[in-house]
Structure 1
Amino acid sequence: MDGTQETLSRRGLFRGQFGATSQTEEGWYSVEGIAAGPGDVFWDGWADEQGVFVTGDDGVIFHFDGSDWTRLQCPAPVPIHALWGTDRSNLWAVGWMGLILRFDGETWHQDRGCVVDTSGKYPSVPDNTPLFDICGLEDGRAWAVGDRGTILHFDGTDWQSEDSGTRAHLRSVIALSGGQLLASGGDGTVLLRGDGGDWQKLDSAVSSNFTAALALGDRSALLVGGRYFVDANGFRGDVVLWNGDTFETLFPSAQFSRFREIGRTEKGIITLGDAGQIHLIREGEVARVQSGTSHDLLGLVCLPTGEALAVGDFGTVLVGDAEALECFAPAIAAGEVAPNWTPQESGTDRQLWGIWCDPEEGALYACGEEGTVLIRDRGQWEALPPAGDLGIHDLTRAPDGGLLAAGQLGEIHHFDGSSWRKHFDLFMDVTILSLWKHGTDQIFAAGDEGLVLHWAGDSWERMPSGTKSALYGLWGMDAEHLLAVGDFGQVMRWNGTRWDEFNAGTEHFLFDVWGRALDDIFIVGLSGTIGHFDGKRWQITPARARSDLLAVTGTEHDVVAVGAAGVAARHDGLRWHMEPTGSTAGLRAATVDRDGRYYAAGDGGTILIRDPS
């Protein structure tokens, strides 16, 4: 079922000329940032140039505006199965218990369905017949279909019932060229609505339970669905071609999973189904696409770029192109075109791994390759004596008031104001990547292979961290509340007694963490990953940057993240904005001084400053 591909010749599309192929398409990508849990089920969505709607069980409606996913208010807590509209001020949604919603551009309103009796239950009345699909014409007329042959027609003013001539459950309705409509559903039911408004049952000669259809052009369509096979103890999918006169089952020898949806993207025709099944019809071939999930995929949302989202069980949201949602990113305002960051002369061409502002004295330091340590003195960066021969990744204040520098081979060096001495040696090829200090005698260090070290006043002790992943960044409120982030979305939380996993909902590498409070924490990482913890849950913001984000820091007013290729992003309290830096150097560390000036350090000795004005 997972490895079968078939060939569909476009020249022979209506002649049934098919053959096998062994091609498999590259996979889809998981969309992050939508606050969905494992119990959520998404059924469908709709998109325009301004953003994306995704709907599901319990009246869930999420909207993505190019920056954030927001859950919108819904008048009824029942599953929403399908959406259609001419634009977002004329957008319809249908669902369980006959629910029909209309969006006016700002708010969702209930137009029909979800009738309750005196006990607060849904009675068995025609208005509560479940609806599963909706489509319409450019003039605003719409049709919705559902159980027991239900077909409703919106004539521009009201919803009225139309006689379908069947009691079969209908699951799909599409518009054909010339204003005709095609509805389909259980037991091979296919209905055609002609120009006169009457529905005619067609002889499909296929017993499949059709769930979706796609108009191909002049009075023709592809229908998909599935049938239960006792010998297979499960459903198998069907693809059926209607050429305007007859029906033909395509790929009869292929053992597809049951299909749930079909749509068109710039890459070709996409089919979705059970167990994460995605197939692509393109250039005369049908190929299995790697979805990266085993969850049932139920809906396809076509994006204005020609890409699409796939949605389904367990809060699954996938996209066919990793950068597809960037089309909704708000443009940088005109006032932000000039670089907000200006370069400073560092006096070195060594790669800089860290930059740090001493909270006690306000002094600024940077560190990097070959023991490089810089200090900013009277507006200029000056080099201190090298802290050994190896790379230095982070700095902090020593318990006695000196300076600590940590880095490669697990070495920690101490500077007393004139010279360095070795403060600690792990005697292992493990790099210390981050330091964090609280008070006068509590210091933590983290690094490769899950390394965590702790200084509690007398000596450095290695702690069991509960992970073998590299830990790149540390941040905490105090010695009993600390976070470390690392490979494959790893977030570890220290509670004063032990380290435990703290799932952030992403598998991207995380390179840094910073927060204002325990309910206001930011993480950044691979491919522009940005996450925020509000005290209850993590929310992963869809990437506004293609480049990796390597460092994050902030003030009570804003937050800044920097990363590869000179990328920088600023959160103003409401949303993230990309900022030009005028640099293409990788920015590997960031800090902020007492006056709210941000500093970023990175490749080739690069140091940039962002003035708060």
Structure 2
Amino acid sequence: MTDTRAPERRRFFRQLLGTDNASQPGRAPWHRVPEVGAGDGDVLWSGWTGNGELFVVGDEGMVLRYTSSADAGGAQWQHMAVPTRLPLHGIWGPAANNLYAVGWMGALLHFDGAQWQLLRGGVIDEKGGRFAACKENTPLFAIDGNDQGMAWAVGDDGVILHFDGANWQSEQSPTQVNLRAVACGPNNTVYAAGGEGTVLHRDSEGLWTKLDCPLGSGFHALLVMDDGSLLLGGGRYFVNQGGFRGELVRYQNGQFQALKFDEPMPRLRSLKAYKGGVLIVGDQGHLYYFKDLRLDKLESNSHHDLMDIILLSTGEALVVGDFGTIMTAAEDFTQALAPPPMAAAASPWQTMVVPTENQLWGITEGPDGTCYACGEAGTVIRLRGGSWELLPAPSELAVHCLWDTGAGLFAAGQLGRIYRFDGQQWALHYDLNLDLTILGMWGSSPESLYAVGDEGLILHFDGLRWQRMPSGTQSALYSLWAMDDEHMLAPGDFGLVLRHNGKDWSEFNVGTENFLYGIWGDSLSNIYAVGLSGTLAHFNGQRWQQMATRLREDLLAISGSDAAGAFAVGTRGCVLRLDRDQWVTEVSGSDAGLRAVCATRSGAVYAVGDRGTVLCRNGKTGH
């Protein structure tokens, strides 16, 4: 499990839940697009979008097409028939029915709106039955075109191909160095870049020249800026640093300058203009936003190599990479791709009046049926007679979770502090004396209470004192679910679930790499886990299985009861209800992020979240 320091973990958690500066342009956290149709063994290299359609190319001749409408099998991502199994590294075209893709062994393909055709490359030696050692088979790695319908593709050995609008032909190259990037500039100029600090320029007359770059960078990415300067990204191997190190270089007024930053970067793969700045992707899941010589690392929730950036017409973007990765910062990538008309629908949920506008983190039902919710700035509210009332604040710190033992209400949150409410006032019950946030609580009795949180924190109260339990992980643990003291689960990062057997905690992997935030079940053979990018998994007593939700929202909590059924909630007012064995979407009537949900024993369901939002469904409280 990745070892992440507490400040970084808390910053991620704040950004995920909307309390940090994630709303600033270019700085929102990224998440995977669900149900892409590519597997963990697939490398996705590049993509193209236009007119509401999306094409993504990758290894094994893969071309994925997304059209916002499902095929006969219900899939929205469709694998296209392609006449080669060669890896495809780049794609460009003036329209969805006129696309070109380039790849390994000089593969150059054209899509005419009906089918893909191999135009050149992939030549087989008739005698040996293998790829021939000819110039036409020189691997191609990048392609770009201009508004006039002309395009250029570059690859190994300095090869440059030019499309004049009718035919492809080779152009004389001033280098034999491997080229990895090409970009069209203003006035019919073109730039290309590659290994050993190689940067080429093509003037409007068609002459390629090599620019005098004193740096030895291996360039993989190239961006022509609005002011005519160049931004180049890549990396090279440093023996004294034991691996590749990323480099960002600016070419301006005839001078190359290596930009220096405090934090080392991995090899950079792609640069694209994005939200007033530059989006940069690289190896090991690294995402950066660059503006005014400032480099901000973005939350990618991934450690896979990211290969390219696909800009969308709405100003949003997709990032593609290793392990079938397609990611976005857009809350709904379908709307970012081509906003569909939304029909209004009636909602079974009602918004309740509450005495706070503070963000609410958690909600719980006590043994007597009383519901409590908690949130920022020490907010604790109680539901009585169908109305929410404000209780005294335990402190000024945020309260993330509550648990009513029947012999006292416990509240926990920031700085590892736990408070107990006796019905009149709060008292500090335990102080961890560490800057760790407690995120979830559960108890079976007043003599057995558990709490989990940042950096694998697990605490147990035995009726006399709180003690820390070894968890074996540095992952944040976001919540707790249990049948009893010997059957307990705590979800965390990258598909991690910790399982407690009454003595020890051990890993119980769900089979996804997305973060998991909530778990609920009505038996040990019927358990659900929810998380990032609409992740929903089911455990049948033997194994976990991923369930298709078609959601772009993050699912942040789940709860159920015999009288109410089961519900999951998440960002942008997302609500799912379990209907027999299928999860169906419900209209919540709210766009607020929903952070917690409680399905009560009486049959009422409450969801709480941003801006003090409290929603109720089928409540029997007479509100």
The answer as to 2:536 corresponding to 1:531 is: yes
Shift of 1:542: 8.2
The answer as to 2:352 corresponding to 1:338 is: no
1:334-357 per-residue CA deviation (whole Å, 9 max, x = no partner) reads 554332446899xxxxx973599x
Q: Secondary structure of the residue that 1:29 maps to in structure 2? A: coil
Match 1:353 to one of 360, 364, 381 = 364
What residue identity is the alignment partner of 1:123? A
Shift of 1:272: 4.3
Match 2:224 to one of 186, 206, 215 = 215
Contact between 2:441 and 2:479, CA under 8 Å: does it hold in 1?
yes
What residue identity is the alignment partner of 1:368? C
Question: Which residue is equivalent to 1:457?
Answer: none
Q: Secondary structure of the residue that 2:136 maps to in structure 1? A: helix
Shift of 1:146: 1.1
Distance 1:201 1:239 in 2: 19
1:277-314 per-residue CA deviation (whole Å, 9 max, x = no partner) reads 666543xx312322467765432332333344444556
Flag structure 1 segments of 5+ consecutive residues without an equivalent.
1-24, 346-350, 357-364, 375-379, 382-390, 395-403, 411-427, 437-444, 453-463
Q: Scaled by the length of structure 2, what TM-score is found? A: 0.59
Distance 1:343 1:83 in 2: 48
Question: Which residue is equivalent to 1:168?
Answer: 177
Question: Which residue is equivalent to 1:45?
Answer: 47
Distance 1:37 1:407, change over 3 A: farther
The answer as to 2:491 corresponding to 1:486 is: yes
Within-5 A mapping of 1:354-369: 368-369=371-372
Shift of 1:131: 0.6
Question: Which residue is equivalent to 1:10?
Answer: none
Flag structure 2 segments of 5+ consecutive residues without an equivalent.
1-24, 70-74, 354-361, 374-381, 387-400, 412-428, 431-437, 453-457, 461-468
1:414-443 per-residue CA deviation (whole Å, 9 max, x = no partner) reads xxxxxxxxxxxxxx999997799xxxxxxx
Within-5 A mapping of 1:30-69: 30-33=30-33, 41-48=43-50, 50=52, 53-61=55-63
Contact between 1:66 and 1:327, CA under 8 Å: does it hold in 2?
no
Question: Which residue is equivalent to 1:400?
Answer: none
Match 1:93 to one of 101, 109, 114 = 101
Distance 1:592 1:108 in 2: 55
The answer as to 2:192 corresponding to 1:183 is: yes
Distance 1:473 1:164, change over 3 A: same
Work out which of the two has the higher radius of gyration on C-alpha atoms and give 1 or 2.
Answer: 1
Shift of 1:249: 1.2
Question: Which residue is equivalent to 2:29?
Answer: 29
The Cα RMSD (Å) is 6.0
Shift of 1:132: 0.6
Q: Secondary structure of the residue that 2:347 maps to in structure 1? A: coil
What residue identity is the alignment partner of 2:587? E
Question: Which residue is equivalent to 1:151?
Answer: 160
Distance 2:138 2:470 in 1: 55
What residue identity is the alignment partner of 1:551? I
Shift of 1:322: 6.4
What residue identity is the alignment partner of 2:251? L
Distance 2:233 2:519 in 1: 46
Question: Which residue is equivalent to 1:289?
Answer: 296
Within-5 A mapping of 1:461-472: 472=479
Shift of 1:134: 0.4
Shift of 1:171: 1.8
Shift of 1:369: 4.6
Match 2:517 to one of 486, 510, 514 = 510
Distance 2:559 2:51 in 1: 31
Distance 1:585 1:62, change over 3 A: closer
Distance 1:517 1:189 in 2: 60
Distance 1:161 1:554 in 2: 68
What residue identity is the alignment partner of 2:295? R
What residue identity is the alignment partner of 1:580? S
Q: Secondary structure of the residue that 2:99 maps to in structure 1? A: strand
Shift of 1:97: 1.8
Distance 1:237 1:588, change over 3 A: closer
Contact between 1:544 and 1:578, CA under 8 Å: does it hold in 2?
no
Which has the larger displacement, 45-54 or 173-182? 45-54
Distance 1:174 1:501, change over 3 A: same
Distance 1:290 1:219, change over 3 A: closer
1:195-224 per-residue CA deviation (whole Å, 9 max, x = no partner) reads 45x432234243544333222357653444
Distance 1:58 1:229 in 2: 31
Question: Which residue is equivalent to 1:299?
Answer: 308
Contact between 2:56 and 2:65, CA under 8 Å: does it hold in 1?
yes
Distance 2:535 2:27 in 1: 23
What residue identity is the alignment partner of 2:191? L
Within-5 A mapping of 1:87-486: 87-103=95-111, 110-116=118-124, 121-164=130-173, 166-196=175-205, 198-206=206-214, 208=216, 209-217=218-226, 221-226=230-235, 237=247, 239-241=249-251, 243=253, 247-251=254-258, 259-273=268-282, 280-282=289-291, 285-291=292-298, 297-312=306-321, 319=328, 321=329, 323=331, 325=333, 327-328=335-336, 335-341=343-349, 353=364, 368-369=371-372, 448-449=451-452, 472=479, 484-486=489-491
Distance 1:517 1:96, change over 3 A: farther
Distance 1:560 1:77 in 2: 44
1:122-156 per-residue CA deviation (whole Å, 9 max, x = no partner) reads 33233322111001123433221111232223344
Distance 1:393 1:467 in 2: 25
Which has the larger displacement, 251-260 or 484-493? 251-260
Which has the larger displacement, 220-229 or 126-135? 220-229
Question: Which residue is equivalent to 2:17?
Answer: none
Contact between 2:316 and 2:336, CA under 8 Å: does it hold in 1?
no
Match 1:72 to one of 64, 79, 91 = 79
Percentage identity across paired residues of the two chains:
29
What is the number of residues matched between the two proteins? 505
Distance 1:446 1:46, change over 3 A: farther
Within-5 A mapping of 1:564-575: 567-569=574-576
Distance 1:508 1:111 in 2: 43
